Structure 1
């Protein structure tokens, strides 16, 4: 069962206008410095881990500082891990004492985060893991341990409703860690209905497990995401940028090479690589969303790592100048441009995001059918001379040196929406191959010889 294409409701348009969110993976696992899943991946002693978690006390955590840094970097919303797979809760839950409020910090980190980010004008998202590695009944399931499973499911539902009751408006909710359960075990469809009663405007992701009624089959393991093809308001490709034609989507990506929480000695991706992921999401997004949820793993003491801030600030400065090419954009890829960079559109504007600046004074854009009114090097504000020759746009006056260390952007303003001919719409490995045959025959002939003539 698949859903048809839809118009984005007004209550969710903030999501497509934002394009750029901050994912925050933080908890007592940060003290270990080997990833948010260190308890399971290294098969640690459960009791020893819990004792250390209860002593964890991040003395430098300042939610207002986080919010300031996020806004300065150009993020429009954030999503905090309220409870990851280790079971430790960052809020004052009434259903367990394994929380930051009842253990060493004696603080409700979720409340501080939500209030600070909302005050800064950022949308507030919460992450919640279905799985809890401490609870045997979760892995035994309803068939093997019906009584234990009923308690676990009630615990999960109660905590989610608690998060949506006690912390004001929540805009974005990110479930994770379904394996080995499915939507029917979890009662996720029923829970989502209750969530919408508590938060009518909330966006809920698709990691709800597969449902026999909704998806036609049940989960059979997999990597644990439980990405339903029909359930949920937005898709969540992880470590990938893949469009979802059925709904909104956001790609969740790390700023390091692999792990989500703070890791000692992890390698960091450069700023241009991270910015390119944002541009790719915006280019592929269209009206159904194409957001980047970029992760930071704060240090155990509560501070954002300096390596993250350096990269985030550089991208933030780029967005101050070029943000109109990203925020509220309508996707791109009007015509072939992969040999130079990426494209986005917004109304009558086409933005050429140039990854590969070749230092030549002229740029040719092929296979366009609309009339151009103006061309601007957005990076500097300089108006550029141009001419149109048939379906080609020739832009002149480009500087030899790239005007920014990251990606220069050229804004092309049209009379009406940017549009392309058949060649612009159909790319390499796409479309009608007859057009390629005609192109080759008309311009050079039929044979394998240089001149195309038969011998």
Structure 2
């Protein structure tokens, strides 16, 4: 039984590293970086396949330094990484026995996957691999089993063999990210069987939900041409893309770009600022059914193998913030105990409630409504300063806040409670939610009429 099929989801011990990590680095890199127009340039601009292959085979990124990448990732606060072993263009970033269209057989003469896994593992990061089902070069993938049963079987066997090769030759793999199912489905791909074989090779592996819809498991339905093939039941974790959407019954990970739109290196792309990226991490940690979510934040290295300076600058700034405030993100249990959107976000861990302040107003006092658990102490985590507080019923006042924000990013206040932080009805039920009778009772305190004093005329 998969996690989402159960009524209540408890994170297995073997996967607790994932919720403790919260923050992963996605790496989209391949010969498409030479074009500087995104990882899907071959299809989106329907380029000539032969010319693309010639350029891919000549690609030789002499500045690829996985040890520097891994060091930068650790300093940026990432706890795991996911590397594109093969994207939709079919070029393989490892020494595959099943094709010569690879970094090992062509100009670089290097196994980029091996170098990546060894370097990132050495820095203490968990290892993830991305693999695309689709290969734009192969007609049989698009003709499918109905039109070309013999050709399709060769393609399917090739896909399965490569996945098992990746899980056999590179040590312990913690995280596996499939992508690009369209126009096939899980039954065509026999992805359920492949997952069983993957678990035999890597018993602790986390496998994502992009396995295609299955008539046996989901009831077949088209994925609307999106291509991801997200399954409602198959896979250990959900993968909302470009959005942060919580799943209640399995782990989930929002994959996001550091730029405006595209995943691989793009010349002239616009970059999101560090506070926007950090907010995505905090929102992911805040959301989710008791276990929160993860952020898989992407970088597209340059064609010659370097991390873009814009990414490094933003990544290291967030890393410095995490060195001080990491307890409000790593290993948290989800948050948003009370309504807090007017100031920022919340996370929890054990008996602690963390107030992540997106909007610092410079006032010395802050009111937190609707927290019913008794408070033992309040600390401005950013500076270590203990703050005075008063608690009257479900109203908490925090005093002594500095006028200037103590960090360029988000200050964090830790509220230590006597038990797990809990809220009253107003804290549990938010705007547009819950029983409207509570709103009517609240409004009735003012009166019942449209006049300023609420009195009937």
Relative to the length of structure 1, the TM-score reads: 0.99
Which among 58, 62, 77 is matched to residue 59 of structure 1? 62
Which of 155, 162, 177 is 2:158 aligned to?
155
CA distance, structure 2, for counterparts of residue 246 and residue 139 of structure 1: 33
Correspondence for 1:326: 329
Q: 1:181 to 1:111 in 2, by over 3 A?
A: same
Give the distance between the partners of 2:174 and 2:48, measured in 1 at CA. 37
Question: What displacement does 1:391 show?
Answer: 1.2
Shift of 1:66: 0.7
Task: Return the alpha-carbon distance in structure 2 between the equivalents of residues 256 and 149 of structure 1.
Answer: 37
Given that 2:42 and 2:89 are in contact with CA atoms closer than 8 Å, whether structure 1 keeps it comes out as yes
Q: Decide whether the 8 Å contact of 1:126 with 1:174 is kept in 2.
A: yes
Following superposition, the deviation at residue 231 of structure 1 comes to 0.1
Q: Counterparts of 2:215 and 2:44 in 1: how far apart (Å)?
A: 31
User: What is the number of equivalent residue pairs in this alignment?
Assistant: 454
Picking from 108, 118, 139, the partner of 2:121 is 118
Label 1:110 to 1:380 Cα distance change in 2 as closer, same or farther (>3 A).
Answer: same
Distance of 1:287 and 1:432 partners within structure 2: 22
The alignment partner of 1:162 has SS state of helix
Alignment root-mean-square deviation, CA: 0.9
Corresponding residue of 1:265: 268
Contact 1:164 1:195 in 2 (8 A): yes
Partner of 1:181: 184
1:134 aligned to 2:150? no
Residue in 2 aligned with 1:217?
Answer: 220
Specify the alignment match of 2:424 in structure 1. Answer: 421
Q: Using the alignment, how far apart are the partners of 1:150 and 1:26 within structure 2?
A: 29
Report the equivalent of 2:83: 80
In structure 2, the residue corresponding to 1:384 is in which secondary structure? Answer: strand
Q: SS where residue 213 of structure 1 aligns? A: coil
Structure 2's unaligned 5+ residue stretches are none
Separation of aligned partners in 2, 1:68 and 1:49? 32
Report the equivalent of 2:433: 430
Give matches, 1:372-411, under 5 Å: 372-411=375-414
How many Å apart are 1:222 and its aligned residue? 2.2
Name 1:446's counterpart in structure 2: 448
Kept in 1: contact 2:246–2:289 (CA 8 A): no
Question: Following TM superposition, where does structure 1 have runs of at least 4 consecutive aligned residues deviating by more than 4 angstroms?
Answer: none
User: How far is 1:104 from its partner?
Assistant: 0.2
- Cα offset, 1:220, TM superposition: 5.2
Do the aligned partners of 1:247 and 1:288 also contact (CA within 8 Å) in 2? Answer: no
Question: Contact between 1:5 and 1:247, CA under 8 Å: does it hold in 2?
Answer: no
Post-superposition Cα deviations, 1:289-314, rounded to whole Å, max 9, x if no partner, equal 40000000000111100000000000
Which residue is 2:347 aligned to?
A: 344
Residue of 298, 301, 305 corresponding to 2:304: 301
Is the Cα contact below 8 Å between 2:24 and 2:296 reproduced in 1?
yes
CA 1:284–1:55 in 2, change beyond 3 Å: closer, same or farther? same
Report the CA distance between 1:2 and its aligned residue: 4.1
- 2:367 paired residue among 364, 367, 371: 364
